[in-house]
Amino acid sequence: MKKVLMGNEAVAYSLFINGVNVATGYPGTPSTEVIETLKKFSDDDFYVEWSVNEKVALEVAAGASLSGARSVATMKQVGLNVAADPLLSLSIIGIEGGMIVFVADDPGPHSSQTEQDTRNFARFCNLPVLDPSSPKEAFSLVRAAFEISEKYKLPVIFRMTTRVCHSNETLEFEFKREKRKISSFEKRPQWVILPGLSYKKHIELEEKLTKMRSELGRLNIIEGHGQIGIVTSGISYFYVKEAIREFEDLFSILKVTVAHPIDDRTILDFAAGKRMLIFIEELDPVIEEETKLVLFENGMHILTYGKRNGYVPFAGELDVDKVKQIIYDVTKKEGLLVQKSFVNAPEIPRRQSQLCSGCPHRSSFLIVKNACKGKDVIYTGDIGCYTLGYAKPISTTDTCLCMGASITMAQGLKLADEKKKVVAFIGDSTFFHSGITGLVNAYYNRHNITVCVLDNLTTGMTGFQPHPGVGQKATGQEGQRVEIAEVVKGIGIKEVLIIDPYEDFNLCVQKVREFIEKDKLSVIVFRRKCANLKRYNGYYRINEKCINCKACLNTTGCPAISEDEEKNVFIDKTLCSGCGLCANFCPRMAIEKVGENE
């Protein structure tokens, strides 16, 4: 078979071919496509699911592994924070069947709260981490990851970054699934983590890592014979290759595929006879610090350039031009003749992120904003499409920390300032991910906040994956639907209101105002299907009654409404979804519906 595959797709194909039995995950860019691809496959010994959060995904995968199944849990880098508790314990008790923890880091970041480096997590957990540079290498390393996991009875972290996850490469392979016999669960004392056992197993873990170093060193790659050594990993390897193309005789490259445990012998062999070492990696100086420690312990003194002495940036993505600049700066300092053979490319204009045309969240935000008019209100936000509620003119997001934190931070803000009204916004998928526990805390401790669950019946930001509130499984099969309002009532909260944000706008404002003024712990579920999954009939236009007051433009922020060259407001019918929200804010009733979308 010959296919052009995205990095995440390549990993999914390789997982399936190499006999993965259980695949779990929670959607999050740039990791999502692994499960999205795996759900297309079927076999009598293969199962795939979207779990409610990353901790659950990792624990389900771990349970399968203890019975001898090969498993994978997928997530993005911030999802690993959620899964940290079971992962650290798994490094102590170990596993049985091969287990991969696929984590996609997001240098930039493009769609994340943090730029954290999962290689540090591997060091923290004392687990091996593989760092492929391309889709083709990722494809081949999956088998190695399973073999390492099964040999040492440890989970293996498979760390990729956005550019590797989402780049494409042509791969040739035999699409034939490996059939494995899965043993049944064997009861052993080691599966129950207790303090005394943990101490003993920690010692064993350190011994495993020592044995692992030299074996995993075979996965690292050394190229070239120049006296200037460049130590790199991941996608940075290709940036380096391109940057030194005109001067490659001066350089040699060590591509570190296994960032932890790093192989001392490989480092020492590579560094021998080098004039200097340049460390080029995203994001943290993981390889740089490990390498310097190995050199120091072995009495090797060599010039080093990297993040620690300011030559390589700590934050953001690298690219070919940045790497060329690093090499130019270092070689210039050392008096070598490497010319600056590039020009600075112009920056691409940045487009402001905004809610889609017809997004029901826009109406939900504006209903609450109008209901709270005249009140001193703090709006806490969460992770999802609706984080964009921070942007003008909506401006109803004052805080955003991490998944589920809107509800819990709202409680702290209310405790610190009882006079202020605090309204928390959270999405439906996020509610199931980590919002429920915060709501239980609010009920238990009698925190008088208002929680608005923005239920658009999908996980919108990451590609419309289902969740428990939809009642559809990852594979499209029917699951058990969990009703958000019933969960809220089950906690014991009596003040629950369900609203369609595209019903009568003024009536919705009135209902919400009355609800919020009760000054009790209350929950409003704004339910309307995502605009990308449901289109309305017709579109809207501005007629001759318009006085160009721009109320529609300045109030809604809808991307379908803009100004022409003469600063007159108009609605672009190709962008208009037909929701009609803008008509509620026109003082002259100059916005009218005109039939079917064309």
Structure-token pair, residue 344: 């600075």
Q: Which long-range contacts (CB under 8 A, 24 or more apart) does 351-356 make?
A: 352/391, 353/388, 353/391, 354/388, 354/391, 354/557, 354/559, 355/385, 355/386, 355/388, 355/389, 355/394, 355/557, 356/385, 356/531, 356/532, 356/559, 356/577
Q: What angle do CA 220, 222, 224 make, to 5 degrees?
A: 165
Give the orientation angle of helix 195-216 with respect to helix 135-152, to 10 degrees.
Answer: 130
Ligand-binding annotation for 356, yes or no, is no
Is the peptide bond prior to 501 cis by the omega test (within 30 degrees of 0)?
no
Q: Which residue has the higher pLDDT, 18 or 419?
A: 18
Residue 200: Cβ within 10 Å count: 12
Pairwise CA distance, residues 250 & 224, whole Å = 9
**Residue 234 in this model has a pLDDT that exceeds 70:** yes
CA distance 563 to 572: 10
How far is the first Cα of the chain from the last one, in angstroms, to the nearest whole number?
A: 41
Alpha helices in 262-391 (DSSP H): 264-271, 286-297, 320-333, 360-371
Chain segment 527-538, per-residue pLDDT in tens? 999 988 877 778
Residue 582 assigned as binding residue: yes
CA 471 to chain centre: 23
3-state secondary structure of 17: helix
Q: So what's the pLDDT on residue 341?
A: 54
Residues 6+ apart with CB under 8 A from 527: 455, 456, 457, 498, 499, 500
580 closest CA partner among 538, 545, 549? 538
pLDDT higher than threshold 60 for residue 127: yes
Paired residues of 276 in beta bridges: 228, 303
Q: Is 87 exposed, middle or buried (0-12, 13-18, 19+ CB in 10 A)?
A: buried
Reported confidence tier of residue 518, pLDDT bands at 50, 70, 90: confident
Q: Read off the pLDDT of residues 564-595 as tens digits, 9 standing for 90 and up.
A: 988 999 999 889 988 999 999 999 999 998 87
Give the per-residue pLDDT at 408: 94
Mean pLDDT of the chain: 91
**Chain position carrying tokens 């919108």:** 460
pLDDT at 348 over 80: no
Residue 165 annotated as binding site: no
Contact 387, 381 (CB under 8 A): yes
CB 20 within 8 A of CB 145: no
CA 290 to chain centre: 27
| Banded model confidence at residue 597, pLDDT cuts 50, 70, 90 | very low
How far is residue 307's CA from residue 289's CA, in Å, rounded to a whole number?
10
61 contacts 99 by C-beta, under 8 angstroms: yes
Q: How far apart, in whole angstroms, are the C-alpha atoms of residue 241 and residue 237?
A: 6
Two structure tokens written together for 88: 């650290």
Question: What are the CA-CA distances from residue 388 to residues 110, 195, 417 (Å)?
Answer: 14, 45, 25
pLDDT digits (tens, 9 = 90+) for 405-443: 999 999 999 999 888 999 999 999 999 999 999 999 999
Average pLDDT over residues 510-530: 92
Rounded CA separation 274/293 (Å): 17
What is the CB neighbour count within 10 angstroms for residue 301?
7
In angstroms, the CA 142 to CA 71 distance is 12
Residue 549, annotated as binding a ligand: yes
Q: Taking residues 50-75, report their average pLDDT.
A: 95
For Cα atoms 21, 23, 28, give the angle at the middle one, nearest 5 degrees: 165
Q: What does the pLDDT look like over 180-200, one tens digit per residue?
A: 888 888 888 877 887 878 888
SS3 for 377? strand
Residues 6+ apart with CB under 8 A from 595: 538, 539
* Domains in the chain with CATH codes: 2-216 (3.40.50.970), 220-333 (3.40.50.920), 360-527 (3.40.50.970), 540-593 (3.30.70.20)
Q: How far apart are CA 383 and CA 138, in angstroms?
A: 29
In 10 A of CB 131, how many CB atoms?
A: 33
pLDDT digits (tens, 9 = 90+) for 482-501: 999 999 999 999 999 999 99
pLDDT of residue 138 exceeding 80, the answer is: yes
Q: Which pLDDT does position 179 carry in this prediction?
A: 87
364 against 335, higher pLDDT: 364
Paired with 232 in beta bridges are 255, 280
Using DSSP's 3-state secondary structure scheme, residue 256 falls into coil
Q: What is the per-residue pLDDT for 340?
A: 60
Residue 140 scores a pLDDT above 90: yes
> CA-to-CA distance for 523 and 498, rounded, in angstroms?
9
